[in-house]
């Protein structure tokens, strides 16, 4: 990840790339696949200047030709790290989120969208004891995320090592939010929050909810597994009993009960099956 300085909180004009189904946070590195002609032109325009582009999520992903009203008011200024044109005419681009920004206006130009945006500084100036409250929230969020990662096998545990080294509370919140499977609207709310305390509070609720969902999922999977194991045991029991019943049915009247009992014991069947088989002899 490249070290980048914050942009001054002054309005700037940047090419704009509307995003479907994804919210990009500061410090987040993500590959994007771009196919719309105007979006490709926006990337090309950014590459010709400082490689900076404004990333804004669409309110409705299905809208193929969005207008300014179809985009959220807060996005992320990003730097283009790599850009690759693919044989089918689409573009794969690797971007790194740099800083939140408020969209002041969007111009739908002939070739691409251009946005006038104001970079948003994180609200860190907190009076007195509020600083310790933010630190307490940071630790609580980290603890909950630790639970989440241990329950979710899809996330490599190494992520905890990298996140634990992040001291900045706002950056920690953004990094964790980027790893959660939240709906777009929920992620956008977190992006909208420039106040770090409010962002951590919202994130804590989101992580807690995800942990609860994973715990319920774990219980359901355990219950289903136990039921399947019981069904398998019952099937095996029934097969054993059928075999004994066949043995009893084929024997002549007055067959050697002792011999059959020996066969039951020799079968080393489960206790349930043995009891049921022995009851057939009575």
Contact 196, 137 (CB under 8 A): no
Cα-only R_g, the chain: 31
What is the C-alpha separation between 132 and 197, in angstroms, rounded?
11
The least confident of 84-98, 241-255, 265-279 is 241-255
pLDDT of residue 224: 86
**Domains and their CATH numbers in the chain:** 12-119 (2.30.130.40), 130-219 (1.20.58.1480)
pLDDT tens sequence across 148-177: 999 998 888 899 998 988 989 999 999 999
Residue 275 in this model has a pLDDT that exceeds 80: no
Percentage above 90 pLDDT, the chain:
60
- Sequence-ordered list of residues with C-beta below 8 angstroms from that of 79, at least 6 positions apart, any chain: 2, 4, 51, 52, 53, 95, 96, 98
pLDDT tens sequence across 84-129: 999 999 999 999 999 999 999 999 998 999 999 999 987 764 554 4
Residue 274 in this model has a pLDDT that exceeds 60: yes
- How high is the mean pLDDT of the chain? 86
Q: Dihedral of CA 195/201/202/207: which sign?
A: positive
Query: Pick the residue with more confidence: 14 or 128?
Result: 14
What is the C-alpha separation between 202 and 144, in angstroms, rounded?
13
pTM: 0.77
pLDDT of residue 1: 42
Q: Please, which residues bridge with residue 93 across strands? A: 32, 83
pLDDT tens sequence across 76-93: 999 999 999 999 999 999
Helix axes 257-266, 271-280, angle to 10 degrees: 170
pLDDT of residue 260: 66
pLDDT of residue 157: 87
- Sequence-ordered list of residues with C-beta below 8 angstroms from that of 72, at least 6 positions apart, any chain: 56, 57, 58, 59, 103, 188, 191, 192
pLDDT of residue 245: 64
pLDDT tens sequence across 26-80: 999 999 999 999 999 999 999 998 999 999 999 999 999 999 999 999 999 999 9
pLDDT of residue 205: 97
Residue 258 in this model has a pLDDT that exceeds 80: no
Residue 233 in this model has a pLDDT that exceeds 90: no
- DSSP 8-state class, residue 53: E
Q: Dihedral of CA 122/201/73/75: which sign?
A: positive
pLDDT of residue 218: 83
Q: Would you call 252 helix, strand, or coil by DSSP?
A: coil
pLDDT tens sequence across 205-231: 999 999 999 889 888 888 888 888 888
């Amino acid at each position: 990840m490249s070290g980048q300085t914050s942009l001054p909180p002054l309005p700037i004009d940047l090419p704009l790339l509307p995003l479907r189904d994804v919210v990009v946070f500061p410090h987040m590195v993500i590959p994007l696949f771009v196919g719309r002609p105007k979006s490709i032109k926006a990337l090309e325009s950014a590459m010709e200047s400082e490689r900076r582009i404004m990333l804004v999520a669409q309110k409705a992903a299905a809208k193929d030709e969005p207008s300014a009203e179809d985009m959220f008011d807060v996005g992320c200024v990003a730097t283009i790290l790599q850009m690759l044109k693919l044989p089918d005419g689409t573009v794969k681009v690797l971007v790194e989120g740099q800083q939140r920004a408020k969209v002041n206006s969007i111009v739908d130009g002939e070739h691409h969208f251009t946005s006038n945006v104001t970079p948003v500084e994180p609200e860190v100036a907190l009076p007195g004891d509020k600083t310790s409250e933010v630190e307490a929230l940071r630790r609580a969020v980290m603890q909950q995320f630790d639970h989440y990662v241990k329950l979710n096998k899809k996330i490599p545990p190494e992520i905890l090592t990298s996140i634990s080294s992040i001291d900045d509370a706002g950056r920690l919140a953004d990094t964790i939010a980027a790893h959660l499977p939240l709906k777009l609207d929920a992620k956008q709310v977190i992006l909208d929050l420039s106040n770090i305390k409010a962002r951590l509070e919202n994130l804590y609720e989101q992580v807690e909810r995800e942990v609860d969902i994973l715990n319920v999922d774990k219980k359901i999977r355990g219950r289903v597994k136990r039921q399947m194991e019981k069904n398998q045991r019952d099937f095996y029991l029934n097969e054993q009993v059928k075999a004994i019943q066949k043995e009893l049915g084929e024997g002549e009247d007055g067959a050697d009960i002792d011999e059959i009992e020996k066969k039951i014991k020799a079968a080393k069947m489960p206790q349930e099956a043995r009891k049921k088989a022995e009851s057939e002899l009575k």
